[in-house]
Amino acid sequence: MPYPLLDQSRHLALAVLAATAVDEDCAAQLALRLGLPLLATGIDPANCASSDALVLVRGRTLSLQQTGKGAPGPVVVDFGSARVFHRSRFGASELLGKAVGRRKKSPLRVLDATAGVGRDAFVLADLGCEVDLCEREPVIAELLRAGLDCARSEGDPWLADVVQRMHLYAGDARQVSAAHMQSVDVIYLDPMFPPRDKSAAAKKEMALFQRLLEHATDPEDADTLLLWALQQETARVVVKRPTKASHLAGQVPSHSVRGKTVRYDVYVQHKIDRERACPDIR
């Protein structure tokens, strides 16, 4: 049975829900931070008519759950999942590492200006990069924050080592301080585009995220973000694109690193400075 489609004609109506009575205090604090209504504990997401999706608080875990009968399961940021582990070790890591030029400096500092659920940032951190994750959509930023906290507390030494190189900035990358930008070697951009696989998980995640972001962005937002990135004093800017997509903002890259389904457009601006200091991101 296919899951119900989200109504694309209106903004996504969100609310916060505590999974159990133990989670109510954390849920109340989260609702206050996000400016969202807090629903009564015990409400069944399948029968919730007042919201399109719920931010569900269960212990340390936050998830985004579409409401309605037949809705797909929750979207959660889980850096310990087998999928993320596999992706960090094989395939994508080689292409992405080559695109950012990680062998030219250790550690390389990358500002991920469109962090999303942090998968590419995790790959870069696993490669040894220090990664600043910028996410301006508040709900997605909270999912990221919870995912990082859970990863730090899982007791997995490898996982803890990777996420300690991931630094969350809940806001627009263009608001990062000028002092911090002086320490950044690479700006990485991954504008959202339709999912490259046909799994239900990819479709549900993309549908929810597109709805979350649509009120805060316009069709030319990715272009303006690239133009901003190219004005920064970073060694290079890297943009992830579908293999056959046009270049963002009509800007032809210095070169591209190509895979089967995606390519990385690389804009080389100058050599990487090996001696940069690193002030706090804020």
Other Cβ atoms closer than 10 A to 22: 12
Mean pLDDT computed over 175-200: 81
Per-residue pLDDT, 152:
94
Beta strands in the chain (DSSP E): 14-18, 53-58, 61-66, 75-76, 109-112, 130-134, 166-169, 186-189, 236-242, 255-258, 262-268
Q: What is the pLDDT of residues 129-164, one digit of tens each?
A: 999 999 999 999 999 999 999 999 988 999 999 999
Question: What distances in angstroms separate CA 237 from CA 62, 99, 121, 281, one per listed residue?
Answer: 32, 9, 15, 18
Q: What is the pLDDT of residues 208-223, one digit of tens each?
A: 777 776 655 555 789 9
Q: What is the CA radius of gyration of the chain?
A: 19
Q: Is the pLDDT of residue 231 over 80?
A: yes
Q: Is the pLDDT of residue 203 over 80?
A: no
Other Cβ atoms closer than 10 A to 189: 22
Q: Is the pLDDT of residue 192 over 90?
A: no
Residue 215 tokens read as 């009120």
Q: What is the pLDDT of residues 262-279, one digit of tens each?
A: 999 999 999 876 555 566
Q: Is the pLDDT of residue 236 over 90?
A: yes
257 DSSP β-pair partners: 264
Beta strands 130-134; 166-169: pairing state: parallel
Residue 55 tokens read as 């931010």
Cβ(84)–Cβ(122) below 8 Å: yes
Show Cβ contacts of residue 76 under 8 Å, excluding neighbours closer than 6 positions: 61, 62, 63, 64, 143, 147
Q: What is the pLDDT of residues 62-89, one digit of tens each?
A: 999 999 998 888 889 999 886 666 666 6
Beta strands 53-58; 14-18: pairing state: parallel
Q: Is the pLDDT of residue 173 over 60?
A: yes
Per-residue pLDDT, 4:
41
The residue behind tokens 């696989």 is: 197
Least confident residue range of 119-123, 192-196, 263-267: 192-196
pTM listed for this prediction: 0.88
| pLDDT tier at 3, thresholds 50, 70, 90 | very low
Show Cβ contacts of residue 87 under 8 Å, excluding neighbours closer than 6 positions: 93, 119, 123
Mean pLDDT of all residues in the chain?
A: 86
Percent of the chain with pLDDT over 70: 80
Q: Is the sign of the CA dihedral 94, 98, 99, 105 positive or negative?
A: positive
